[in-house]
Amino acid sequence: MKAMPTVRARRIVPAGDAALAQAKAALAAGQVVAIPTETVYGLAADATDGEAVARIFESKHRPSFNPLICHVSDIAMAETFADFDPLSRRLAEAFWPGALTLVLPLKPGHAIHPLVTAGLDTVAVRAPKGFGADLIAALGRPLAAPSANRSGRLSPTTARAVDDSLGDAVPLIVDGGPTQVGLESTIVMVADGKARLLRPGGIAAEAIEAVTGVPLARADANAAIRAPGMLASHYAPNARMRLNAGSVAPDEALLGFGPQRIAGADKAKAVLVLSRTGDLAEAAANLFDHMARLDASGARCIAVEPIPAHGLGEAINDRLARAAAPRETS
């Protein structure tokens, strides 16, 4: 018998009540959804759900785990996981909802998954306008969302551009028409009471200076801040890291992957397995947590079993290689 043609659910849905309900259900089920914001389209997932966040990187074919922006409905939601200094609060009050992202310290006990922040102790936060804001309020949880393009491509400003860039990797795209701003948000971080521009974007530096009353320091003055993936404050374990290990010594901790353990695992100082079934999304979701816990075991070295190089494995290996790199160069 000939197979029936499969009827695919419509992937691009116009912004509105039906799309809101569909997007909310998908996000609550741990899926990614492409949504319009006033800057560019974002590829969103529940920021408290590690496997969902891992799917963002997977869908974008992102070869490394860059920290993502956490989108909130308002300042009150941001305050559940981040601390506002007085100047950051003034900026949020002036520009939210809108194209300003603030980098803030995380609160102890916060629920943001470490994959969102790439293990940093700060988080980038903004309150978007429009459909995104309604969706976050309906879900009641923050959404992690980078621009909804395949890694290395242009940020999309239409639903069609998202579709062209990400193809079938995204089960649901909400179409809110062309984005108003068309440029990513401006990223600002306040340190020692001074605002610093980390990324120019949809809100002009002059508009920010009009609120702060002083010139905005440029990240160019400090190259380390321009590339957050390279920040010294990026989580690096105290223990040495030994990648692609074929065996583990009794004074080492073991970071495992897959169903089989390498020789010596039964005598290792501590053992945690990223995914026993070899699921790379589960492994990505566990990566930062497991590295931190093995480090806390006090082992002098963390031996890491080989991780496949395909799919999310590329980003996992990238992160492990950074953690294993000599510290002086961070």
Instruction: Judge whether 146 and 43 are in contact, CB under 8 Å.
Output: yes
Of positions 22, 31, 37, 48, contacts ligand TXA by CB under 6 A: 37
| 142 belongs to the binding site for ligand TXA (CB under 6 A) | no
| 153 belongs to the binding site for ligand TXA (CB under 6 A) | no
> Token pair of 126, please?
């903004």
Residue 303 per-residue DSSP state: E
Cβ atoms < 10 Å from Cβ of 120: 20
Q: List, in order, residues 6 or more apart from 180 with CB less than 8 Å away.
A: 38, 129
Secondary structure of residue 168 in the 3-state scheme: helix
List residues bridging with 242 in a β-sheet: 303
| 136 belongs to the binding site for ligand TXA (CB under 6 A) | no
Number of residues that bind ligand TXA (CB under 6 A): 25
Of positions 48, 59, 88, 147, contacts ligand TXA by CB under 6 A: 147
Of positions 145, 241, 255, 307, contacts ligand TXA by CB under 6 A: 145
> DSSP labels for 192-234?
TTEEEEEE--SS-HHHHHHHHSSPPEEGGGSHHHH-GGG-TTS
Please state the closest distance from residue 23 (CB atom) to ligand TXA, in A. Answer: 14
Residue placing its CB nearer to ligand TXA in the complex, 101 or 317 = 101
> Token pair of 140, please?
């009641």
Query: Which residue's Cβ lies closest to Mg ion?
Result: 147
Stretch of 83-91, 145-153, 156-164, 245-253 contacting ligand TXA, by CB under 6 A: 145-153
Secondary structure of residue 144 in the 3-state scheme: strand
Stretch of 62-70, 72-80, 204-212, 239-247 contacting ligand TXA, by CB under 6 A: 62-70
Residue placing its CB nearer to ligand TXA in the complex, 57 or 257 = 57
User: Residues 183 to 242: which contact ligand TXA by CB under 6 A?
Assistant: 184-185, 187, 198-199, 228
Of positions 33, 34, 40, 303, contacts ligand TXA by CB under 6 A: 40
User: Residues 154 to 183: which contact ligand TXA by CB under 6 A?
Assistant: none
Please state the closest distance from residue 230 (CB atom) to ligand TXA, in A. Answer: 10
Nearest to 145 by CA among 135, 260, 299: 135
147-86-131-210 Cα dihedral, nearest 10 degrees: -80
User: Given the structure tokens 């529940």, which residue do they identify?
Assistant: 46
Cis check: omega of the bond before 308, within 30 degrees of 0: no
Please state the closest distance from residue 186 (CB atom) to ligand TXA, in A. Answer: 8
Contact residues for Mg ion, defined by CB under 5 A:
147
User: Given the structure tokens 């075991």, which residue do they identify?
Assistant: 297
Instruction: Give the residues lining the site for ligand TXA (CB under 6 A).
Output: 37, 39-40, 42, 66-69, 101, 103, 117, 120, 122-124, 128, 145-147, 184-185, 187, 198-199, 228
